[in-house]
Amino acid sequence: MNYLSTRGDTAPRNFCDILLEGLAPDGGLYLPDHYPQVDAATLARWRDMYATQGYAALAFEILSLYIDDIPAADLKALCEKTYTPAVFGTREIVPLTKLHDASTSSARTDFYLEALSNGPTLAFKDMAMQLLGNLFEYELARRGEQLNILGATSGDTGSAAEYAMRGKHGIRVFMLSPHGRMSQFQQAQMFSLQDENIHNIAIEGVFDDCQDIVKAVSNDLAFKRQYKIGTVNSINWARLLAQVVYYFAGYFQATRDNGEKVDFTVPSGNFGNVCAGHVARMMGLPIGQLVVATNENDVLDEFFRTGVYRVRGSADTHETSSPSMDISKASNFERFVFDLLGRDGARTRLLFHDALASSGRFDLSADPAFGQTRERYGFVSGKSTHADRLATIRDVFEQHGVMIDTHTADGVKVARAHLRPGVPMVVLETALPIKFAATIREALGRDPDRPPRFDGIEKLPRRVRVMPADAQAVKAFVAQQCA
Ligand SMILES: *Cc1c(COP(=O)(O)O)cnc(C)c1O
């Protein structure tokens, strides 16, 4: 499989060439040069395989279509090492929970939650990051290289990266987070890690300050090269690819027969998760609608309703109770637009490079392509507010006895507006409620359930260094750790 850039650079690259990279050199995002098509016989075989051999076997089948520069036996071993019941808690890895919904008129629609949050950090990012950790370790060993991962997090990404990379050979992680601003549980999760290759840096500032420091360090090309600085952000193709697998696994669990369709609703921020759904659909998985759910930060909902994509300034980015969806622009969205425009790299570049730089927006409302977002690609959208989240958390708990987190609540709220008779709806559960306890208390007047393995985690010794919002200080620390 060859990979190309959404901005027109078609120099052929293999999977492992782009594995450790972020953006393409022309500023675009990497995509495979085609989507392998899954025919009826293959889909039938995969359904059986998931049921009898499990998730890792299914993952290997799907990944093999996109990765031809890792020997099959090695790739299989990496999948088996990653997707084990010991790490993800169940044999299915991503089990469905059926909600029998009495509150809507669509009693004929099966409504499911797909659990993606039973990995080490209780958010769906583990699904991809755990694989990435194993792929990175494998590829770095093969090349005899080292990597220092520098990242900024407001919570879920940083902890998922640290738990994926802890103890891995050839890898160090330097993770910046805004001092005192993550939830107590998230701080405890990250700062209690004692692994020598994991470095928590709490920056005296807000999340944007952390991100600015990462950019400043990455823009110092000499430093970046000398210290082999890399990232694990959500534009990484390997992360997206890993996420394609659970759309197949969700589909097989929600249906009996491959003639049926399923709709998915995805709580969305940077468009990484739902973009994996788009890829699964392009491969031929019978997905009807892909419902994009946003919170008050509705950049994506606005686009799918109006055809206008308008990035927000930091002043119009809301801090919400579903913080992992608080984005000002959706960094993976360019991938979908590239497909929507018939893979016209020059036009994608005009929109994402020129138009966004000059006016912060582009408008496809009058373009025939925009009409295809729903008809041809299945995309619809909706948004949710703090009041919606509270009401939805309460309602799902009272009616079904199931406690959902704030992000999943945004999904359930929006999904309910898009139910179709006879078409199962699967909402991706992106985190567990314990990560966002304050809002659960506000909604339900009680504490969220805590998986027993996290008992007392707030009392564990912490390994974190507090630093001013200063790129020089961070660079000096990185240099000292690598000496
Ligand atoms: C990251 C995250 C999201 C948003 O996912 P994207 O891939 O950025 O769209 C939603 N919910 C939770 C809990 C997350 O951690």
The C-alpha torsion from 153 through 159 and 164 to 167, rounded to 10°, is 100
What are the structural domains of the chain?
92-122+238-444 (3.40.50.1100)
pTM value?
0.96
Measured CA angle at 304 (ends 299, 307), to 5 deg: 90
The DSSP line for 181-207 is TS-HHHHHHHHT---TTEEEEEEES-H
Active-site annotation holds for 125: yes
Local confidence band at 232 (pLDDT 50, 70, 90 cut-offs): confident
Count CB-CB contacts under 10 A for residue 242: 24
What pLDDT sits at residue 206?
86
Q: What whole-number percentage of the chain has pLDDT above 70?
A: 99
Ligand 1 probe mutation, 325, 384, 389, 408, most atoms within 8 A of CB: 325
Sign of torsion over alpha carbons 101, 104, 105, 106:
negative
Q: How far is 136 from 456, CA to CA, in rounded Å?
A: 32
Q: What whole-number percentage of the chain has pLDDT above 90?
A: 87
The packing angle between helices 333-340 and 368-375, to 10°, is: 110
Name the residue with the closest Cα to ligand 1, atom 14.
324
Q: Which of 81, 98, 125, 261 is catalytic?
A: 125
Count CB-CB contacts under 10 A for residue 422: 11
pLDDT digits (tens, 9 = 90+) for 359-414: 999 999 999 999 999 999 999 999 999 999 999 999 999 999 999 999 999 999 99
Segment among 13-22, 33-42, 95-104 with least mean pLDDT = 95-104
Beta strands in 179-285 (DSSP E): 198-204, 229-230, 262-267
Local confidence band at 101 (pLDDT 50, 70, 90 cut-offs): low
Residues with CB under 6 A from ligand 1: 123, 125, 156, 234, 267-273, 324-325, 407, 430-431
Ligand 1 probe mutation, 124, 129, 240, 414, most atoms within 8 A of CB: 124
Name the residue with the closest Cα to ligand 1, atom 1.
324
What pLDDT sits at residue 229?
93
| CA 431 / ligand 1 centre spacing (Å) | 9
pLDDT digits (tens, 9 = 90+) for 141-182: 999 999 999 999 987 899 999 999 999 999 999 999 999 988
Contact 154, 181 (CB under 8 A): yes
Question: Mean pLDDT, to the nearest integer, of 104-110?
Answer: 66
Mean pLDDT, rounded, of the chain: 95
C-alpha closest to that of 410 among 313, 319, 297, 305? 297
Q: Which amino acid is at 172?
A: R
What pLDDT sits at residue 103?
52
pLDDT digits (tens, 9 = 90+) for 432-460: 999 999 999 999 999 998 999 899 999 99
Measured CA angle at 374 (ends 372, 377), to 5 deg: 70
